[in-house]
C-alpha cells in the first residue's frame, strides 16, 4: 500500500495541475464558484467506478444557480464510515505582483508544487483520492466504508458547503464514523486539531471632531484616542487569563488588526476612526462578557479625549464542544502518523475557524489534520510532494485500520 502510493508521485502532480487550473473562487470573493473543478473530480471518480452523489446548494450568484457538494463512497467490510472531507474552493490570489508565477498554472520546483490552492485544500483532495485509488488498484477492501466529501464554500462561511450538507443530509454522517478534515496542521505532521477557541470580531468606531491640524483645540482627535484605547485594551489578557494546555498559544488572544483609512491629508485632524479587534477566546469564557469589558475599558479611555466609542460585533462564533482527545478518529490518526512519519502526534486546540466546527456542533467527532507548509492564502502558496505521499499513506492506514 505504502509502496503503491510512492508510485503515484507523477499522478499527484498531474492532479494538482488539473485542480490549480480550475479557478474555484466563490462568488463572495468575485469568482465563478466550484462547478468546473467539481465536474472534473466527479468525472475522475466516476471513471474509477465510484458512485458520486451531488448535493447542490442553491446560489443564484453563480452561472449554474447551485454550488456543488460531492460525496463518493468506496464500500468497506463495515457500514461505519471513515470520512475525509476536503473543500473545493480557494481564496483569490490577491496582489499578483507578489507571485513569482501564474497562480493558476502549477509550477514544480523540486519537492514544491506551487499554485493557488495547492495546500488549501488540494492537498486534502489529492491525498484522499490517491489513498482511495491505491485501494482500488490493489483490489483491497477497506475495513470501514470510505466516504469522500468534496464541498463548496469553505472559505466564505460554509453556508453553501458543509453547513448546508449537514442540515440537508443529516443522515450522511454518524457519531460512529471517523471524520478527518485535512485542512490545517503542522509542518512536522504532529498537530491533530480537536478543539477551537471561540472567535469574536469587533468593530470599534471612535467619533470625535475633525478640524485643521494647526488648531487642534477646535477638534477631538480620534486617532490619538484610538491609540490610547488600543493600549488600554492590553488589560484584556490579564482579565481573561485562564490557560489551557490543549491550545497553542494556551491563553485567549485579543489582537487589534485592521485600521480603516481616515482623513485624506496630513493637515487634517481625524474626527472618525475605525479599527477592528480579533479575539480568540478559550471556551471557558462567555463572549458577551468579553464584549462588555472591551466596551467598558475602551469607553473609559476614549472619554479622556472627549471621544465617543461604539463597539459592534462583526462575527461571533462560540466554540463548539471539543472532540474527545481519546475519540477513535484521534487514536486512529495518531497511530497512523506514527507508523508513516515515525512521530508522536498530539491532540491540540487551535485559534478557531476550521470547517470542523460544523461537525462538532452536531456532536460528530472530527479531527483536523494534515502536514502543512503554512503557505495557505499566501502568494506563492505551495505544498510538498513528499507531504502528499506521506499524508496519503496516513489516510490509507486509517482506511485499513481495524478498530
Enumerate the active-site residues: 89, 154
CB 102 to Zn ion: min, Å: 21
CB 86 to Zn ion: min, Å: 8
Q: Which stretch binds Zn ion (CB under 5 A): 21-29, 105-113, 119-127, 157-165?
A: 119-127
Q: Angle at which helices 385-400 and 9-21 pack, to 10 degrees?
A: 110
CA distance 392 to 152: 22
> Which of 59, 120, 273, 278 forms a contact with Zn ion (CB under 5 A)?
120
Q: Please give the DSSP secondary-structure letter assigned to residue 75.
A: -
Half-sphere exposure of 368 (CA within 13 A, CB side): 26
CB 100 to Zn ion: min, Å: 22
Q: Which is nearer to Zn ion, 297 or 383 (CB)?
A: 383
By DSSP bridging, strand 191-196 and strand 78-87 are unpaired
Cell of 402: 481495524
Q: Which stretch binds Zn ion (CB under 5 A): 114-122, 248-256, 280-288, 295-303?
A: 114-122
CB 107 to Zn ion: min, Å: 20
Q: Which is nearer to Zn ion, 163 or 183 (CB)?
A: 183
Number of neighbouring beta carbons within 10 Å of residue 352: 20
Tabulate helix, strand, coil % of the chain (nearest 5).
35, 25, 40
CB 47 to Zn ion: min, Å: 26
Would you say 159 and 349 are in contact if contact means Cβ atoms under 8 Å apart? no
Q: Which is nearer to Zn ion, 87 or 133 (CB)?
A: 87
Please choose, from the candidates 355, 326, 350, the residue with its C-alpha nearest in 3D space to the C-alpha of residue 164: 355
Q: Which is nearer to Zn ion, 129 or 269 (CB)?
A: 129
**C-alpha 179: how far from chain center:** 16
Q: Which stretch binds Zn ion (CB under 5 A): 22-30, 182-190, 326-334, 390-398?
A: 182-190
CB 181 to Zn ion: min, Å: 9
Q: Which is nearer to Zn ion, 166 or 311 (CB)?
A: 166
Provide φ and ψ at 133, rounded to 5°. Answer: -60, -40
CB 33 to Zn ion: min, Å: 16
183 binds Zn ion (CB under 5 A): yes
Beta bridge partners of 17: none
> Which of 119, 121, 153, 381 forms a contact with Zn ion (CB under 5 A)?
121
Beta bridge partners of 144: 78
Q: Which is nearer to Zn ion, 116 or 220 (CB)?
A: 116
CB 108 to Zn ion: min, Å: 22
Cell 462583526 belongs to residue = 314
34 binds Zn ion (CB under 5 A): no
153 binds Zn ion (CB under 5 A): no
Cell of 58: 442553491
| C-alpha angle 319-323-329 in degrees, rounded to nearest 5 | 145
Q: Which is nearer to Zn ion, 27 or 328 (CB)?
A: 27
Q: Which is nearer to Zn ion, 42 or 122 (CB)?
A: 122
Cell 469564557 belongs to residue = 285
Query: Which residues, at least 6 apart from 20, have a Cβ–Cβ distance to it below 8 Å?
Result: 103, 104, 105, 106, 115, 116, 117, 118, 122
Size of the site for Zn ion (CB under 5 A): 3
Cell of 262: 481616515
Beta bridge partners of 175: none
Would you say 207 and 112 are in contact if contact means Cβ atoms under 8 Å apart? no
Q: Which stretch binds Zn ion (CB under 5 A): 16-24, 101-109, 118-126, 292-300?
A: 118-126
Number of neighbouring beta carbons within 10 Å of residue 227: 15
Cell of 387: 507531504
Binding site for Zn ion (CB under 5 A): 120-121, 183
Amino acid at each position: 500500500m505504502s509502496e503503491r502510493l510512492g508510485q503515484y508521485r507523477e499522478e499527484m502532480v498531474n492532479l494538482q495541475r488539473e485542480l490549480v487550473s480550475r479557478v474555484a473562487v466563490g462568488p463572495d470573493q468575485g469568482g465563478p464558484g466550484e462547478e468546473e473543478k467539481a465536474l472534473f473530480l466527479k468525472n475522475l471518480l466516476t471513471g474509477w467506478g465510484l458512485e458520486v452523489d451531488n448535493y447542490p446548494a442553491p446560489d443564484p450568484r453563480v452561472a449554474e444557480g447551485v454550488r456543488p457538494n460531492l460525496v463518493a463512497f468506496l464500500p468497506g467490510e463495515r457500514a461505519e464510515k471513515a470520512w475525509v472531507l476536503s473543500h473545493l474552493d480557494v481564496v483569490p490570489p490577491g496582489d499578483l505582483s507578489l507571485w513569482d508565477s501564474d497562480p493558476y498554472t502549477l509550477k514544480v520546483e523540486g519537492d514544491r508544487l506551487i499554485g493557488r490552492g495547492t495546500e488549501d485544500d488540494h492537498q486534502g483532495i489529492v491525498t484522499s483520492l490517491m489513498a482511495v485509488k491505491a485501494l482500488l488498484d490493489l483490489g483491497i477492501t477497506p475495513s470501514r466504508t470510505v466516504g469522500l466529501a468534496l464541498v463548496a464554500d469553505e472559505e466564505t462561511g460554509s453556508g453553501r458547503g458543509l453547513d448546508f450538507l449537514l442540515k440537508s443530509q443529516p443522515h450522511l454522517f454518524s457519531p460512529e464514523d471517523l471524520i478527518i478534515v485535512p485542512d490545517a496542521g503542522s509542518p512536522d505532521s504532529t498537530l491533530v486539531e480537536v478543539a477551537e477557541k471561540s472567535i469574536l470580531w469587533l468593530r470599534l468606531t471612535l467619533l470625535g471632531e475633525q478640524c485643521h491640524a494647526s488648531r487642534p483645540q477646535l477638534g477631538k482627535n480620534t486617532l490619538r484616542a484610538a491609540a490610547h484605547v488600543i493600549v488600554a485594551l492590553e488589560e484584556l489578557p490579564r482579565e481573561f487569563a485562564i490557560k489551557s494546555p490543549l491550545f497553542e498559544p494556551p491563553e485567549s488572544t485579543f489582537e487589534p488588526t485592521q485600521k480603516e483609512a481616515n482623513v485624506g491629508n496630513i493637515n487634517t485632524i481625524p474626527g472618525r476612526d475605525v479599527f477592528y479587534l480579533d479575539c480568540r477566546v478559550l471556551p471557558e469564557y462567555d463572549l458577551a462578557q468579553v464584549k462588555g469589558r472591551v466596551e467598558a475599558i475602551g469607553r473609559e479611555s476614549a472619554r479622556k479625549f472627549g471621544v465617543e466609542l461604539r463597539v459592534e460585533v462583526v462575527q461571533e462564533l462560540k466554540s463548539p464542544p471539543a472532540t474527545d482527545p481519546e475519540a477513535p478518529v484521534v487514536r486512529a490518526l495518531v497511530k497512523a502518523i506514527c507508523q508513516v512519519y515515525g512521530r508522536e502526534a498530539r491532540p491540540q486546540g487551535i485559534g478557531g475557524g476550521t470547517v470542523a466546527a460544523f461537525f462538532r456542533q452536531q456532536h460528530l467527532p472530527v479531527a483536523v489534520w494534515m502536514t502543512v507548509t503554512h503557505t495557505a492564502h499566501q502568494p506563492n502558496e505551495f505544498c510538498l510532494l513528499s507531504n502528499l505521499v506521506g499524508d496519503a499513506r496516513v489516510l490509507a492506514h486509517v482506511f485499513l485500520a481495524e478498530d
